[in-house]
Amino acid sequence: MSSPYFTLPEFRYTKPKTIEEVVKVLDEYGENARILAGGIGLISFMKERLLSPQVVIDIKGIPELRRIEYVEGNGLHIGAAVTIAELQGFLGERVEIGNKYRALSEALPQISDSLIRNRSTLIGNICEALPYMDGYPPLIAFDAKLHSVSVKGEREIPVAEFMKGLAETELKTDEFITHVTVPEPPEGAVSGFTKFSSHSEFSATAIAALIRWSERRDERIARISYGSVSDTPILLQEAGEIFRGEGSIDSMIDRVVETALSEINIISDLYATADYRRRLIEVLTRRLLVRLFKEVIG
Amino acid sequence: MTVNGERRAVEVKDNELLLDVLRDKLYVKSVKAACWKGECGLCTVLLNDLPVKSCMVLAMEADGADVKTAEYFIKNGELAPVQRSFIEHGALQCGFCTPAFSLAAHHLLQRNPNATREEIKEYLSGIICRCTGYKQIIEAVEDARKYYQK
């Protein structure tokens, strides 16, 4: 068949063995070259003719991009070619690390389905840059950093600043992401992820939170991130201030909900109306924060 | 690539999908083409022993790889345990989704012969059956666990 949706536009496939070779092709072709890791995003976009690159660069032959590593004190390193299933396996087999990055451990099995996760990558999820990508909230809660490379050199981009709009990112056409680093969570912090989706695998609302509670107010940390509720994923900047302020935990949770509802520019789309999302934000925020506070103060 | 244990050489274009090459050039017809969007799961194959949706894989990505489909598990005319279990439980009506379900289930039970009902449901959730509902399919896989527990 030659109609779109069933076929791909013509391109040249290449599978380099080093990062230097990838960077060279990107420098020559710019936006006419696209990176292929799991292919879930790229192949879908090509079938719909949203993308018609001249060159497709398969990065799965580069050993360093397949690396997953945890170094005490430094945190997690996840290569661009690591599949979500491999990452699930890594965190699942190492209970202590899996618990340390609980929000991520909880999000991964909720991304798409197990057969797709055997192929798709966490960094591909981020680079696809749709508002519904569930990789964003947990990575933002942990303040993860993307590492990109081009002929000009390397740079670091916080996940929270990466997505600029629908399928638009901070990435220049001559660079690509090699890995993401997820820093060691603050001592004593707990985290979690929850989402709601209906009629679709795309979330209607997703939330990840990292909380460190302490009697000393200046030691309290709260990073709360929402996905699927606005054009780009959101880090709720005010959450830390709210928890460092006065009042009972219940009243703090109330204020987080109020702030989320007033600060986020909530969208209506195929998956949910803005009004429905407002209710989901309230319910999911309370549910997640109550669960996390039970963990830290019993 | 190696397809069902046999080395096969085939000329493909850079933009061809593994699904289309398997069906149209290598005549492996148990791999079904339905949605071409990675949603229905009916084109599932074992790529280097991992179940993946072959409509989301370029044929070029499978260069040199090992590909197994439902045909692989028929040995001397005998079906694999999980395939037999599908028959015993009447876990099919039209049969279109059966190759995909049995491949994914075979992989799951090989890796985890004690998979719970919930784990089975979760693992197979990326494959769609439009005839039976999923009750008999899940029961067939649950019942097949005993053949994989050694």
- What mean pLDDT value characterizes chain A? 95
Instruction: Tell me how far the alpha carbon of residue A88 is from its chain's centroid.
Output: 14
Q: Write the DSSP symbol of residue A74.
A: T
Q: Which residue of A has its CA nearest to B12?
A: A13
User: Which segments within B9-148 are labelled E, that is strand?
Assistant: 44-47, 50-53, 66-68
Gap between the Cα atoms of A103 and A101, Å rounded: 6
A6 vs B: CB within 8 A: yes
SS3 B52: strand
Contacts of B64 (CB under 8 A, 6+ apart): B1
B110-130 pLDDT, tens digit each: 999 999 999 999 999 999 999
Amino acid B63 reads D
Question: Is B33 a residue whose pLDDT tops 80?
Answer: yes
For B19, other C-beta atoms within 10 Å of its C-beta total 25
Q: Which of B14, B17, B56 sits opposite A119 (nearest CB)?
A: B56
Backbone φ and ψ of A140, nearest 5°: -70, -40
Q: How confident is the model at residue A298 (pLDDT cuts 50, 70, 90)?
A: confident
The interface residues of chain B toward chain A in range 40-99, judged by CB-CB distance below 8 A, are: 41, 44, 50-53, 56-58, 60-61
Interface test with A, best of B43, B61, B112, B123 (most A CBs within 10 A): B61
Question: How much is the average pLDDT of A269-284?
Answer: 95
Interface test with B, best of A46, A83, A86, A114 (most B CBs within 10 A): A114
> Percentage of chain B surpassing pLDDT 70?
100
Comparing CA positions, the residue from B20, B10, B25 lying closest to residue B55 is B20
A45 vs B: CB within 8 A: no
Tokens at A70, concatenated: 């945890």
User: Which domains are present in chain B?
Assistant: 2-73 (3.10.20.30), 81-148 (1.10.150.120)
- Burial of residue B143 (number of CB atoms within 10 Å: 0-12, 13-18, 19+): middle
Q: How far apart are the CA of B26 and the nearest CA of chain A, in angstroms?
A: 17
SS3 B122: helix
A134-176 pLDDT, tens digit each: 999 999 999 999 999 999 999 999 999 999 999 999 999 999 9
CA dihedral for A54, A59, A61, A62, sign (positive or negative) = positive
Gap between the Cα atoms of A25 and B91, Å rounded: 50
B58 neighbourhood in chain A, CB within 8 Å:
8, 13, 36, 39, 43, 56, 58
Tokens at A10, concatenated: 């013509």
Question: Is A4 a residue whose pLDDT tops 80?
Answer: no
B69-110 pLDDT, tens digit each: 999 988 788 898 999 999 999 999 999 999 999 999 999 999
Q: How confident is the model at residue A1 (pLDDT cuts 50, 70, 90)?
A: very low
Gap between the Cα atoms of A190 and A119, Å rounded: 29
Supply the pLDDT for residue A3. Answer: 60
Question: How much is the average pLDDT of B38-54?
Answer: 97
Supply the pLDDT for residue A200. Answer: 66
Amino acid B79 reads L
A46-68 pLDDT, tens digit each: 999 999 999 999 999 999 999 99
How many contacts (CB atoms, under 8 Å) link A and B? Answer: 74
For A77, other C-beta atoms within 10 Å of its C-beta total 16
Question: How much is the average pLDDT of A264-273?
Answer: 93
Supply the pLDDT for residue A198. Answer: 77
CB contact under 8 A, A119 and B14: no
B35 vs A: CB within 8 A: no
| Residues of chain B by 3-state class (helix, strand, coil), percent to 5 | 40, 15, 45
CB contact under 8 A, B38 and A36: no
Question: How much is the average pLDDT of B23-33?
Answer: 97
Supply the pLDDT for residue A2. Answer: 52
Report how many helices (DSSP H) and strands (DSSP E) chain A contains, helices first. Answer: 11, 14
Supply the pLDDT for residue A199. Answer: 61
Amino acid A203 reads S
- Report ipTM (2 d.p.): 0.95
A185-240 pLDDT, tens digit each: 999 999 999 999 976 678 999 999 999 999 999 999 999 999 999 999 999 999 99
